[in-house]
Structures are given as structure tokens and as C-alpha cells.
Structure 1
Amino acid sequence: MSLHPSESTCHPSGDSPRSICVLGIGNLLWADEGFGVRCIEALQRRFEFAEHVSLIDGGTQGLYLIQHVQAADALLIFDAIDYGLEPGTLKLVRDDAVPRFMGAKKMSLHQTGFQEVLSLAQLTGKFPAQVLLIGCQPQELEDYGGSLRPVVKAAMEEALALGVEQIAHWGGEPVPRRTPLGEREAVTMDELALAAYETQRPAAQEACRIGDDRFMPKEA
């Protein structure tokens, strides 16, 4: 786990954003593709934020995310990105470079869709004034029903620390969670939360990756 040496953490900013959107994108059913969603899940379970901070499990929603991007003054994105670096390496990309970067580094259909979201936000003149992409180099994607690989799971801790630091810098007031998280508040269903997802996974010899019973039940 490491941060790409050319990157700094917080970026100088002007006025504090009035609306902060923290967005995790990816597909948690495909191993390291779930990095972004798992980051949002962990942030919500560990921290509370000011009212103007929204945590969004963007999944693979593509253009359906446009309203969240257009409404944000500051946008923080977590995603698995193929930088061509060592697995678990984190790299930060900022502001206008983010849509160009995601357009050049497409790894899956969800990234194609989200790059279109960012481009549309620019075209409509409703692009966030400040954007930070925290991307993690994946190790394994072709594992249906699989979870984050250990090196990527470990990288989450540094990614979360960087994200919390940036949110605080933007005035998002992160504090350790003091009130229990209600079931209806959770960004991921209890059945898909990381611990349950990993615990319930069948043994490798029992789980064909094209037919995990949790998601593709066998016919009676």
C-alpha cells in the first residue's frame, strides 16, 4: 500500500464549499471493483459529518449520478483505477484533470458512464469547483462474488484517511460516529456489508464464479 510519490494530500482552496458530495463508484460483486463503494460504507460506519456532506453509493449508476455531481460545490470520488502501478497503490487526481483522466483510463462500463456524467456536468456549467479522485490500483477484477484482495483492502485505510482529511479541509466537520447507524440509513444493505459479504461467501471449491448461489440461485 502506498501513495504515488508525485501526489500531495490537501489542495489549497478558497471559500468552504456549501455542498460536499462524497461518491464511491464501482461494482462490489467483482472483487477489487468494489473499492469505491467499500470506502463509502466504511466512512459512514465510522464517521459523522456536517449536514452539507452527502455520502453516495454510486455503484454502477452512470448518468443517474448527474444530479449529485451538478449539485455539489466539492466532489470527492473513490474508485478502483488501473494506473498501471503496483496493486494497492493510491493516486490522487484533481479538478479538471479528473474527467480527462477517467476518460483515458476506462476499466469497466461504470467508468465509461461516470466519465460521461463529468463531461455533461462541464457542458451544463454545473461542474464542482473542487474535485478530488482517490483511486486505488486493483489487483483482481475477474472474480464474481469475490471481495477486495488483501492489498487493496489494506489500502482503504490510507484512502479513508486522505478522504477524511480533505473533507475536513473543505469544512465537512468529520467526527467519529457517536450515534448508531440506522438500518435504513446505511448506504449498503446489511447483507452486502463487507463483513457479512465475506463471511457468507462459499468455499472456493463450491463457488463457481459464474454461479455464486448468493446472487445466481440454482433452479430447484
Structure 2
Amino acid sequence: MSYSRRLLQQGTSLTRLAHQSRFKVVLDLLEETCYEKALDYGCGDGWLLKTAYEQQRIKTGIGVDVDDYMLNACAENLQSIADLQYCFPHNLAQFIEPKSCDLFICTETLEHVNNIEQVFDLVLPYCKPQATFIISVPIEVGPSLLFKQIGRYFANLKGNYGYERYTPRELFSAAMLWDVESFPSSHSLDAELKGHKGFNYQKVEQILQNRLTITRKIFSPFPWLNHFVNSTVIWVAQNRDI
């Protein structure tokens, strides 16, 4: 089973709702615009890029991932679509020209990145002035974390869903005190690949504010509840380059 299909079809109703809602919001944000070239950083198996293409939201696209397994999945999923390509980050220059992308997508990726600033150092030169950015990350701090851990626990009972555990003290600190710095995690250690535990989406927002102009901020799957009981935060932004 593909990575995207596992997210959308396995787990519990809570975990499926979280993933399905996130994908729907991202695709809805593309509205009726047909972008000339999309850059999907952390494209996984290429499902989102392919869906946007089939819905005529993008004309061409390039998916980027650091994982051999995911790029092999892209090779299978995108093999019949010549307008969609995929590569490792360090190979981007071989596939696209500077300032050629008018859409940048990055969903559920930055929480795993060791240096988020370096991601933007890499991709911004390939984005057109005023390009649209759609970026999502999981909410792993505040009250939402309690509900997410409950959903993950029951999803794991149904199969090997996999998730990072918290001690009661760690969970209280992260969920009630909004403090993810007081306990060890991949985000507090010098780990190349980061996990969900210890991730604070507010730090990503600060980086975006420094680099881009944020035009919308959406919480999913229940937008009216803000950061309470939601699994994901999604930003829409524009490139400041003119």
C-alpha cells in the first residue's frame, strides 16, 4: 500500500479525518487557478502533485524528496505524466530554471527537517516574484496534542500505525504548558531527521514571517477552533521578491 493511501485509508476515523481534511484544504486553496509550474518540496509518493495536475490546478510540476523509497514511488505513480518530474533536492537545478515556479507546496515536511532556513535558501531562487506558497505542518504542542495522541494510540491498536510516545510529565509539559524544550526529543538533539515529538509549529511561523508575506492561516480539520483540537496548521503566503 502506498504512503498516501495508508494515511488516507488506514488508522482510525480520527487519523483519516486529519489527513483527508489537510489534503482537501490544500487542493481547495488552489481554487480555480491553473499554475504554470509547481514545486512540491517533500512530495512523498507524488500523490498530491498528481491530484493537482489531474484536477487541472497545475500545468507542470516537480516533486522533491530526500527519500529513495518515496522517489521510487514517484517513478511508479507519475510514470505516465511527462509534465510531472521528481528529484532529490541537490538535483533541482537539473530540472527547473531559476524564478520559474509560481506555486510552492510543502505539506507535513518541515517538522522532519534539520534546518528549515536551508530549505528556503534552496527553493526561493526557483520561485517567481509573488509566487504562491502553501505550507502545512502538524500541531504537536498545546491541547491538540492530547487528542492526537489518543487518536494515534487507537490507530496503532488496529495495526502498525507507529507514533512517538510521551511520558505523562512530557505530555503535560507539551500540551498544557506549551513547552517542548524541557524534555529530550529529536528537536532538542542534534538529529538529522526530526520527528513529531517536540515540534513547535510557532517556530516555523516565525521563519515564514521573516521570509514571506503570510496572507492566510488555516487550522484543519476544524478551522473555527483555531489551535484547539486541530491536527494541522496551513499557511498561504507570497514571495516578497519583486
TM-score normalized with structure 2 length: 0.29
TM-score (norm 1): 0.32
Q: Using CA pairs below 8 Å that are at least 6 residues apart, which structure has the higher relative contact order?
A: 1
- Structure with the larger strand share: 2
